[in-house]
Structure 1
Amino acid sequence: MTTPTTTAPAPGATDPGDGSVTAARLRAICTEVSNRYLERGGVVKALVACMLAGQHSLLLGPPGTAKSELARDLTSRIDGAELWEILLSKYSDPKKMFGPVDVAALMKGVYQQVWDGRATRAHIAFIDEIFKCGSGALNELLAFLNERLYHPESGGAPIACPLISAITASNELPTAEESAAVYDRLLVRIEVDYLSDEANFTQLLRSAVDAGTPAIPTTVPLADLQTAVRVHVPRVAVPDGVIDAIGALRASLRLAGLVASDRRWRQSVRLLQASAWLDGRQAVTTNDLEMLAHVLWNVPAERPTVEREVAQVVNPDGRLAFDLLDGIEEIAAQLAQMAGKSREELADWAIKEAQGKLAKAERDLTELRKKSEAAGRSTATIDEVIARKRAVHAQVLTDALGFNTSTVNL
Structure 2
Amino acid sequence: MAETIKHHDRISVLKNALSEGLYEKDEALRLALLTAIAGESIFFLGAPGCAKSMLARRVVQAFKADGAGSVQYFETLLNQFSTPEDVFGNISLKALNGEGESGKEEYRRLTENMLPEADIAFLDEIWKASPAILNTLLTIINERKFHNGSKVQDVPLKALLAASNELPAKDRGLEALYDRFIIRLPIGFIQNEDSFFDMVEGSSSEFELSDEIKKLQISNEDLKNWKTQIDAVQLSEESRAVISAIRKELTVQNETLSEEEKAAGESFAIGDRRWKKIVRILKTSAFLNDRTEVDLMDCQLIEYCIWSTGKQQKKVRQIVETCIQQNGLDCDTAIDDINDRIEEFTAKVEKDWFETVTESATDKIITIDNQECYECIRRGTSETWYITVGKGKHNLSNTYHDVYDSNKTYDTSDSFKKTDDQISCHHIFRVKKNSATTHFEQKKFSDIAQETSQKNFDKAYYKPIVDEIHTEIKALKDKKEADAVPFKANLFANQDYNKSLTAKLDEAIRQLQDAEITLAKQHNRYFNAELNTDFSEGDVILKDGTAFSSEEIKNLTEEQKKNVIAVVCIADDKTFAIGISEKKLAWNALKEYALHYGDALPKDYAANWSVPDKAQLYAIWKNRDKLNTSLTALGIQGGLLTPQEYWSASENGEAAAFYQLFDENGLQDHTTKDHEYAVRTIREWNKI
Q: Distance in 2 between matches of 1:99 and 1:286?
A: 44
Q: Distance in 2 between matches of 1:212 and 1:162?
A: 26
Q: Distance in 1 between matches of 2:119 and 2:484?
A: 37
**Matching residue of 2:676:** none
**Matching residue of 1:341:** none
| Structure with the higher helix share, 1 or 2 | 1
SS in 1 for 2:294: coil
Matched, 1:302 2:312: yes
Q: Distance in 2 between matches of 1:316 and 1:50?
A: 27
In structure 2, which of residues 154, 168, 171 is the aligned counterpart of residue 160 of structure 1? 154
Quote how far apart the aligned CAs of 1:271 are.
Answer: 0.3
In structure 2, which of residues 21, 42, 49 is the aligned counterpart of residue 64 of structure 1? 49
Instruction: Verify the 8 A CA contact 2:6 2:290 in the aligned structure 1.
Output: no
Q: Distance in 2 between matches of 1:127 and 1:202?
A: 28
Cα deviation 1:256-283 (Å, max 9, x = unaligned): 2344222221210100011112222221
Question: Which is higher, the Rg of structure 1 or of structure 2?
Answer: 2
**Matching residue of 1:240:** 237
Within a 5 Å distance, the mapping from 1:220-259 to structure 2 comes to 220-257=217-254, 258-259=268-269
Q: Distance in 2 between matches of 1:39 and 1:203?
A: 12
Instruction: Verify the 8 A CA contact 1:237 1:283 in the aligned structure 2.
Output: yes
Worse-matched range after superposition: 211-220 or 244-253? 211-220
Within a 5 Å distance, the mapping from 1:114-193 to structure 2 comes to 114-152=110-148, 154=149, 156-176=150-170, 177-193=172-188
Quote how far apart the aligned CAs of 1:294 are.
Answer: 0.6
Q: Per the alignment, do residues 71 and 371 of structure 1 end up closer, same or farther by CA in structure 2, a change over 3 Å counting?
A: farther
Q: Distance in 1 between matches of 2:85 and 2:205?
A: 40
Matched, 1:15 2:3: yes
Within a 5 Å distance, the mapping from 1:202-281 to structure 2 comes to 202-207=197-202, 216=210, 218-219=213-214, 220-257=217-254, 258-281=268-291
> How many correspondences in the alignment?
318
Quote how far apart the aligned CAs of 1:197 are.
Answer: 2.5
Q: Per the alignment, do residues 228 and 82 of structure 1 end up closer, same or farther by CA in structure 2, a change over 3 Å counting?
A: farther
SS in 2 for 1:292: helix
Instruction: Verify the 8 A CA contact 2:242 2:327 in the aligned structure 1.
Output: no
Q: Distance in 2 between matches of 1:274 and 1:224?
A: 16
Q: Partner letter of residue 113 of structure 2? A: G
SS in 2 for 1:150: strand
Gaps of 5+ in 1: 1-12, 319-368, 387-410
Q: Distance in 1 between matches of 2:233 and 2:253?
A: 31
Q: Per the alignment, do residues 288 and 175 of structure 1 end up closer, same or farther by CA in structure 2, a change over 3 Å counting?
A: same
Q: Partner letter of residue 43 of structure 2? A: L
SS in 1 for 2:169: coil
SS in 2 for 1:189: strand
Quote how far apart the aligned CAs of 1:215 are.
Answer: 5.8
TM-score (norm: length of structure 2): 0.42
Instruction: Verify the 8 A CA contact 1:131 1:182 in the aligned structure 2.
Output: no
Q: Distance in 2 between matches of 1:43 and 1:14?
A: 24
SS in 1 for 2:189: coil
Q: Distance in 2 between matches of 1:22 and 1:144?
A: 29
Quote how far apart the aligned CAs of 1:87 are.
Answer: 1.9
Quote how far apart the aligned CAs of 1:35 are.
Answer: 4.1
Matched, 1:91 2:81: yes
In structure 2, which of residues 86, 93, 99 is the aligned counterpart of residue 103 of structure 1? 93
Q: Distance in 1 between matches of 2:292 and 2:73?
A: 30
Instruction: Verify the 8 A CA contact 1:174 1:183 in the aligned structure 2.
Output: yes
**Matching residue of 1:28:** 13
Indicate the percent of aligned positions where both proteins have the same amino acid.
26
Quote how far apart the aligned CAs of 1:96 are.
Answer: 4.0
SS in 2 for 1:296: coil
Worse-matched range after superposition: 173-182 or 247-256? 173-182
**Matching residue of 1:376:** 484
**Matching residue of 2:668:** none
- Which structure has the higher relative contact order (CA within 8 Å, separation 6+)? 1
SS in 2 for 1:275: helix
TM-score (norm: length of structure 1): 0.69
Worse-matched range after superposition: 94-103 or 42-51? 94-103
Cα deviation 1:148-181 (Å, max 9, x = unaligned): 12122x3x34222122211111111111522333
Cα deviation 1:296-315 (Å, max 9, x = unaligned): 11112222321112112334
Instruction: Verify the 8 A CA contact 1:53 1:271 in the aligned structure 2.
Output: yes
Q: Per the alignment, do residues 162 and 229 of structure 1 end up closer, same or farther by CA in structure 2, a change over 3 Å counting?
A: farther
Gaps of 5+ in 2: 66-70, 101-105, 255-267, 329-476, 500-688
Within a 5 Å distance, the mapping from 1:359-398 to structure 2 comes to 373=481, 375-376=483-484, 378=487, 381=494, 383=496
Cα deviation 1:72-95 (Å, max 9, x = unaligned): 112133111322222222333324
**Matching residue of 1:196:** 191
Cα deviation 1:18-65 (Å, max 9, x = unaligned): xx5565433222222334312222222211111122110011111221
SS in 1 for 2:48: coil
SS in 1 for 2:181: coil
Q: Distance in 2 between matches of 1:214 and 1:90?
A: 34
Cα deviation 1:81-120 (Å, max 9, x = unaligned): 3222222223333244223223355556444432321222
Instruction: Verify the 8 A CA contact 1:242 1:285 in the aligned structure 2.
Output: yes
